[in-house]
Amino acid sequence: MSDAAWRMPASPYRGSWRLAGRFWPTVREDPADAEAISHKLSVRAGLVRQLAAGLYTVTPMGLRVIQRVEAIIREEMNRIGAQELLMPVMHPAEIWEATGRYGLSEQFRLEDRGGRPMVLGMTHEEIVTWHAARELRSYRDLPQSWYQIQTKLRDEPRPKSGMLRVREFTMKDSYSFDADADGLEKSYAAHSEAYARIFDRAGLLWYRVESDVGMMGGSGAHEYMAPSPSGEDVVARTASGSYAANVELATSVACEPAFGEPFGAPEEFATPGIGTIEELTAFTGQHPATLAKSVVLVADSGPVLAIVRGEHQVHEKKIAHIIGEHRAAHPEEIREWFGADPGSLGPVGVSAEVRIVADSTLEQGHYVTGANRDGFHLRGVVLGRDFAAETADIRTVLEGEESRDGSGPIELVPVIEIGNIFKLGTKYSEPLGATYLDENGQEQQIIMGSYGIGPARVAMAAIEQGHDDNGIIWPTGIAPFDVHVVLIGDPDSAQGEYAGALWAELSDLGLEVLLDDRPGLRPGEKFVEADLLGCPVRVTVGKRTLPDGPLEVMVRRTGEKSEIALEGAAHAIRALWDGLAAG
């Protein structure tokens, strides 16, 4: 075989491709095990291939999209003065021991040849702080913002939805180091602005929402969420977006049911065979919001009775904030503590060993609760009078409930988390000894923030938000190419030569152009694959084009076709693309 047979055609244009000879494995049918749209289309459009659960190879075509996302991220991170660096994926375990994060269930652990325990990085707070502790000594060294785009490894219990939830992925993670809380606010705000520009430029519909600080710890956090039916998280927001929060901490104004006349004391009544709230609603004819739901949990400290109104659910995360790690109680345990089975449980007359946590909504009104006697309930039960309980927000938000800021009813939206920002404070700088000397020579702790974006999730979210029956519809900002030139005919033909010249001219005008010059393919196949790939503008060059034109140009998003004269065609296409990019 001669060299020429396997060499790629020479291209003077780094960003533009001639397709002939390239590795671009498209697929006609949806992969059998794919559920999410982005999973199906990313495989079909030849962007990724799966190696194992949660492990994906990105193809040359897919890598173009990822790299465009990364390019936007780099520009915007650099714009706010963040500096790119690169830290190792493999870390000595002892650094993670210092912060108490060694041994987390998602952590990949291994040993080096000397038997030293090592971990693969799930994130880099420990490592970056370790460096900061050694290098940043004076207030004159602050503030700093460092970032990297690098591999993270997490042994996810359940990888899913293609590239949306994987065990190995690249993340842009940045870390800010400030002298004080004001400095952190500035770094946080700078990242917030950079993130807004990044996600706008990536062409996503996105929300910035309040989030739980979770295992990262710290004093405040926001998540960036792209709405999508394939999303794993849920955001509670109002139509205007003036209120938006992860449901894990969202609050709302619960409805105000008619409680009716209060009772002087709880009254027991028979409820034979009644267990669930639905049954109790039907039996009593009362609104579920006037019934109290009792859930028994077991925390480290012992049994916990969590109470919410009938229309609500106890939210796992919210109750966990109060009682810590916990599990559901076994039926035998419930029998022992309450003397009744689930379905007839309530807070009245419960032994002191049971901690009672009631949702704040219970502070108003009187309720029907279980009587802790099988087949009986109490009506007229009042919190504070008939039983004592801690109160807190432990319930889920319901769609349709009013927002606390008065901006209207709450809607619940499934979303993909594409980024997050955390105010870490001293959570990492303290255990790792990251301190500096202030103007007075006093040792102070460095105040940190951490900020993440998943470029592949950005790409997948774009697919989720932009597709039709024929394939992907990329936003102009992150499409693999700006213009897709479909050559119909032989590369050596007159139209082949014209297509090559147009390709070069468009590239000279600053566009990244894909020229489908693959020989032997039928026109239909090229069109179908062009639709699948979804570049914003498609130009067709065929027999009809020469010698007098016109060129057929199609906008992928609208399907709108137009004809362009050969004279000045490249400039006209560039102008068309500029119009799409602008709006």
* Residues forming the site for RNA (CB under 7 A): 26-29, 31-36, 39, 44, 50, 52-54, 105-106, 122-123, 152, 154, 156-161, 165, 171, 211, 214-216, 223, 232-233, 316-317, 417, 420, 422, 452, 470, 488-489, 520, 522-525, 527-532, 540-545, 552, 554
Q: Alpha-carbon distance 253 to 159, whole Å?
A: 36
Pick between residue 303 and residue 346 the one whose CB is nearest to RNA: 303
Contact present, 310 and 291 (Cβ < 8 Å): yes
Pick between residue 36 and residue 277 the one whose CB is nearest to RNA: 36
Say if residue 536 is preceded by a cis peptide, omega within 30 of 0. Answer: no
Closest CA to 56 of 34, 73, 85: 34
Task: Say which residues have a Cβ less than 8 Å from residue 270's Cβ, sequence separation at least 6.
Answer: 375, 376
Q: How far is the CB of 35 from RNA (least distance, A)?
A: 4
Pick between residue 277 and residue 554 the one whose CB is nearest to RNA: 554
Angle at CA 475, nearest 5°, toward 469 and 478?
120
Q: How far is the CB of 147 from RNA (least distance, A)?
A: 14
Q: How far is the CB of 6 from RNA (least distance, A)?
A: 14
Pick between residue 149 and residue 179 the one whose CB is nearest to RNA: 149
Pick between residue 297 and residue 368 the one whose CB is nearest to RNA: 297
Q: How far is the CB of 231 from RNA (least distance, A)?
A: 11
Q: How far is the CB of 215 from RNA (least distance, A)?
A: 3
CA separation (Å) from 528 to 108, 209, 486, 538? 42, 39, 11, 12
Q: How far is the CB of 294 from RNA (least distance, A)?
A: 19
Per-residue H/E/C for 29-41: CCCCCCCCHHHHH
Pick between residue 380 and residue 454 the one whose CB is nearest to RNA: 454
Pick between residue 386 and residue 517 the one whose CB is nearest to RNA: 517
Placement of tokens 């397709």 in the chain: 19
Q: How far is the CB of 490 from RNA (least distance, A)?
A: 8
Pick between residue 157 and residue 273 the one whose CB is nearest to RNA: 157
- Strand-pair category, 513-516 with 471-472: unpaired
Contact present, 514 and 484 (Cβ < 8 Å): yes
Q: How far is the CB of 481 from RNA (least distance, A)?
A: 17
Q: Alpha-carbon distance 390 to 384, whole Å?
A: 10
Q: Which helix (H) or strand (E) covers residue 283, if one does? A: helix 277-284
Contact present, 447 and 184 (Cβ < 8 Å): yes
Pick between residue 366 and residue 423 the one whose CB is nearest to RNA: 423
Contact present, 301 and 327 (Cβ < 8 Å): no
E strands, 181-291, in order: 207-210, 220-227, 233-238, 244-246, 267-270
Closest CA to 552 of 532, 534, 572, 533: 572
Q: Alpha-carbon distance 558 to 568, whole Å?
A: 24
Pick between residue 255 and residue 528 the one whose CB is nearest to RNA: 528
Q: How far is the CB of 167 from RNA (least distance, A)?
A: 9
E strands, 30-167, in order: 48-52, 55-58, 83-84, 90-92, 109-111, 117-120, 144-153
Categorise residue 28: left if φ over 0, alpha if ψ from -120 to 50, beta otherwise: alpha
Rg (CA), the chain: 30
Q: How far is the CB of 440 from RNA (least distance, A)?
A: 35
Q: Alpha-carbon distance 375 to 275, whole Å?
A: 8
Q: How far is the CB of 26 from RNA (least distance, A)?
A: 6
Pick between residue 361 and residue 495 the one whose CB is nearest to RNA: 495
